[in-house]
Amino acid sequence: MIFGKSTETLLKEYPDGPAHKLLDTFAALLKRTGLRIILGRLWIFTAWDTTYRKLSANIRAVVMKYIDEAIETKQQGVNSKTSRYIIVDQLVRLLDDREEICNQLINIFLPVRDAAAIGLSGCLFHLARSPDVSDFTHLLLVTGVAAPKTAFSQPVGVFGALHYDKEIWGDDAEQFLPERWLEEDGLVKKQAGWTYLPFSAGQRICPGMDITLTENAYVLVRLMREFERLENRDPAKEFVERTSFITESRNGVLVGLIRKQAVD
């Protein structure tokens, strides 16, 4: 848990304040951040973008509200009544700089908000368009044990290019092929090492990698238990990318879940 409480962004009637625009604001900010990454050194030409600064300020204002509440709780010496690990509380205990705490929380919020949802959406998108796996028989191949690179969100720039490099992956680099990750005997291949980096690696590895893969595995297995197959409900078959900070489906994911028939 990041903030220790809900931001209430899913309620039909949002509370007053900036929190109700948190997700939309964050998405817009990531889109502009992705543009800066793509531009490289030319990002300086976007320095005039006042919208970027405004979006960033709005996000930080929301996060600062939770930080101030955690600081006030700490100063009052109030012990938490929950056994959950709340990240903002831990950071307040370790750090004194509010700006640094804010930076750390936003860094964690990114994978929690985007990576899990986009990864799961990518899996469902490709499964629904693959007759051989639409009955979930190969479902576990896309849960992180062996994740097809077109299913998981990818950082833009050099990593995205790496994952489509035909010298590494072959002429079918852009195709959804679960069997790519299997040995001839059906066992899962060993990790692809430095040729496959959807979460980066080393000291800069994504802090949300484990929770993202765990959430995706859990949701997909639950779907496998409840439903027999997936059906594509989108007239567009091809995956159209939208690049912000990471890559996702521009057209969303329109699929149908067919329940298993009850056995008499």
33's tokens: 């951040």
How many whole angstroms from its chain centre is CA 5? 20
206-240 confidence digits (pLDDT tens): 777 777 778 888 888 888 888 888 888 988 888 88
3-state class (DSSP) for residue 207: coil
Reported as a single tens digit per residue, the pLDDT across 171-205 is 988 777 777 777 777 666 766 678 877 777 888 78
The per-residue pLDDT for range 73-125, each reduced to its tens digit, is: 888 876 655 567 788 888 998 998 999 999 988 887 776 677 778 888 888 88
Q: At 12, phi and psi to the nearest 5? A: -65, -35
Domains and CATH numbers, the chain: 1-94 (no CATH), 114-264 (1.10.630.10)
Residue range 123-175, pLDDT digits in tens: 888 888 876 654 444 544 444 433 444 444 454 456 777 888 888 888 988 77
The full length of the chain comes to 264
Report the candidate in 121, 138, 137, 224 with the shortest Cα–Cα distance to residue 177.
138
Q: Is residue 68 within 8 Å of residue 99, measured between CB atoms?
A: no
Q: Tokens 């010496």 correspond to what residue?
A: 77
Q: Confirm if 40 and 245 have CB atoms less than 8 A apart.
A: no
In 3D space, the residue among 34, 11, 219 whose CA is nearest the CA of residue 110 turns out to be 34
Check if the beta carbon of residue 230 is closer than 8 Å to that of residue 128. Answer: yes
Write the pLDDT tens digit of every residue in 35-84: 777 777 887 888 788 888 888 888 888 889 889 988 988 888 766 555 67
